[in-house]
Homo-oligomer: A and B are copies of this chain.
C-alpha cells in the first residue's frame, strides 16, 4: 500500500529536499500540498492543514515542513484526524509540546517520526559502528556557516522558538547523540545574542558524557568563506573525523566514506517502514540539549545582525 502524503509548508527545505526525496522513495506519494503561498501543478492545494483535512482529500500521513513556531497545532490536527506524522527538525518549539505529540500519537496508534536529517548522513552509522567499544578521550564539534547564504530572509529563525544558530547546531547534536555510545549532558554554555535579535548567533558549549568524556561544541552563524560542519572524536585507537555535516568520514586522515547526500531519501524510506510496521521513531535528545543550553547558558550581547 502506498502512503498518500500531505506536505505542509512549501518553503526552501520542502523544495530543496522533501519533494525530490518523496519522488525518489517507493511506498509513498505526494497527494496534496498545504501552503499559504504556493502549490504544485496537478496536485490538490490548500491554504493550510485545516483546509486540507476538512477537504476530504484522501491522505494517510502528513509531513510538516513549516517553521517550528506554530507546528504544534498543525501536528495535533493531523494526529487528531488519524494521520501518521513526520516532523522536520526541530520537531517543535518546546520539549513539552513534542512530548504531548508523542503521547497523542501513541494513544491513537499512529506513527510519529521526529526526523533528524543529519543522522541520515552517509558517515553517521559507520562512525557509530567504529566508535562502539572504543575508548573515547574527547569530542570536538565545529559547526560554522553563513546564515545569509543558508537562511536567506528566514526571519522566523531569529524569533523565539526559531533557535538561531542552534537551528544548524541541533544537526550536530543529533549526530553526536547518535554516534556516541553513551548519553551526555551540558555542563556550561555561552550564547551570543545580536542586540537586535531574539535568538543566538553563536554559542560555545561544554558537555560531559555519563562517564565523564568531554564534548565541546562551537556554533557560529557568521562564517563566510569555507563552511565548517565537523565532528572530531579522539579515541585510543585513532582520531575519527566526520566532515561536511556527516557525509564524509575519515580515520587518522584516511578517508573511509564520501557519498552523495541521500539524507532525505533515507528519512522517507524510514518513514515508509515505520508506518508499515506500526512503529514510531521518537527522540527528543537533541532538542533537550538545546533547551538546556538556553537554560544554563550565559548570555552575551553582540553586534546587531542585519540580513
List A residues at the B interface (Cβ < 8 Å).
72, 93-97, 99-100, 103-104, 160-161, 183-189, 193, 198, 210, 285, 288-292, 294-299
The answer to whether B210 and A100 have CB atoms under 8 Å apart is: yes
The answer to whether B299 and A198 have CB atoms under 8 Å apart is: yes
Q: Could you show 15 A-B contacts with beta carbons less than 8 Å apart?
A: A94-B186, A94-B295, A94-B296, A95-B95, A96-B183, A96-B186, A96-B289, A99-B185, A99-B288, A100-B210, A160-B189, A291-B291, A291-B294, A294-B294, A294-B295
The answer to whether A185 and B100 have CB atoms under 8 Å apart is: yes
The answer to whether B289 and A185 have CB atoms under 8 Å apart is: no
The answer to whether B184 and A96 have CB atoms under 8 Å apart is: yes
CA A289 to CA B96, docked complex, whole Å: 7
Q: Knowing A160-B297, A160-B298, A193-B299, say if A292 contacts B185 (CB, 8 Å).
A: no
- Chain B contacts for A186, CB-based, 8 A: 94, 96-97
Q: Knowing A96-B186, A184-B96, A186-B97, say if A198 contacts B298 (CB, 8 Å).
A: yes
CA A93 to CA B188, docked complex, whole Å: 10
CA A289 to CA B299, docked complex, whole Å: 20
The answer to whether A210 and B95 have CB atoms under 8 Å apart is: no
Query: Min CB distance, A285 to chain B, in Å?
Result: 8
Given B72, B103, B290, which contacts A295 in the complex, CB threshold below 8 Å? B290
Closest to A297 in B: B160
CA A114 to CA B257, docked complex, whole Å: 45
Name the residue in A94, A160, A294, A299 with the highest tally of chain B Cβ atoms < 10 Å from its Cβ: A94
Known: A96-B289, A160-B297, A294-B294; 15 extra A-B contacts, CB below 8 A, are A94-B186, A94-B292, A94-B296, A95-B291, A95-B295, A96-B184, A96-B185, A99-B183, A99-B288, A160-B296, A193-B299, A290-B295, A291-B294, A294-B295, A295-B295
CA A160 to CA B292, docked complex, whole Å: 11
Query: Min CB distance, A180 to chain B, in Å?
Result: 13
Query: Min CB distance, A21 to chain B, in Å?
Result: 29
The answer to whether B185 and A94 have CB atoms under 8 Å apart is: yes
CA A210 to CA B99, docked complex, whole Å: 10
